[in-house]
Amino acid sequence: MPAATAMTDPSTGERALRTRVLLLLLFAYIFNFIDRNIIGVLAVPIREEFGLSDTALSTLGVAFGVFYAAIAIPIAWAADRKGRVSIIAAAVALWSLFTAACGVVQNYTQLVVARMGVAVGEAGGIAPSYSLISDYFPREKRSRALAFYSLGIPIGSALGVFSGDGWQLI
């Protein structure tokens, strides 16, 4: 269904569709921030597992951040011109694949490459999601929808810290 129809038809079915889209995007955003925070919480076990210095461990975050920032702009450009749903789906698939790879890496170099892949996947979700929300919600409801979507940041951050602490207890 075209997004323009979703904005003009206030039927229950259209509201339900907008709600489902928003909840799916929020769910992905929550996991995005769980991932970002759990790495920080698990820094000590990661450092011990691979025998890393503090400097080497910090470059893991720098590599993620630089790669995320560098790829986010071209992905946002593509989202303006291509199918945002396909971009989000591909981003989540890539992010999931590389997140799983983080769990099976054998050395620091593999971990850096896997985290860079996660960065690409995570960067592919944000701008297309904002754009999709803007298409599905009329102007008078858009700020609320974007604020609801943005709840993914504190919810995911809290869950990342909580779940990371839980893994350290095992």
Neighbour count for residue 4 (Cβ, 10 Å) = 10
Measured CA angle at 72 (ends 67, 76), to 5 deg: 165
168: pLDDT strictly greater than 60: no
Task: Answer for the pair 95, 75: CB distance below 8 angstroms, yes or no.
Answer: no
What is the pTM (predicted TM-score) of this model? 0.83
What pLDDT score does 165 carry?
56
Task: Answer for the pair 131, 79: CB distance below 8 angstroms, yes or no.
Answer: yes
What pLDDT score does 109 carry?
93
Query: Half-sphere exposure (CA, 13 Å, Cβ side) for 50?
Result: 23
Place of tokens 């789906």: 89
Conformation bin of residue 105: beta by default, left when phi > 0, alpha when psi is -120 to 50: beta
Q: Which two tokens stand for residue 79?
A: 């989202």
What pLDDT score does 2 carry?
52
Cα–Cα distance for residue pair 7/75, rounded to 1 Å: 25
Q: pLDDT tier at 13 (50, 70, 90 boundaries)?
A: confident
What pLDDT score does 10 carry?
63
Task: Name which residue leads in pLDDT, 72 or 164.
Answer: 72
What pLDDT score does 3 carry?
52
What pLDDT score does 166 carry?
54
- Residue ranges and CATH numbers for the domains of the chain are 8-161 (1.20.1250.20)
End-to-end CA distance of the chain: 47
Cα–Cα distance for residue pair 165/78, rounded to 1 Å: 37
145: pLDDT strictly greater than 50: yes
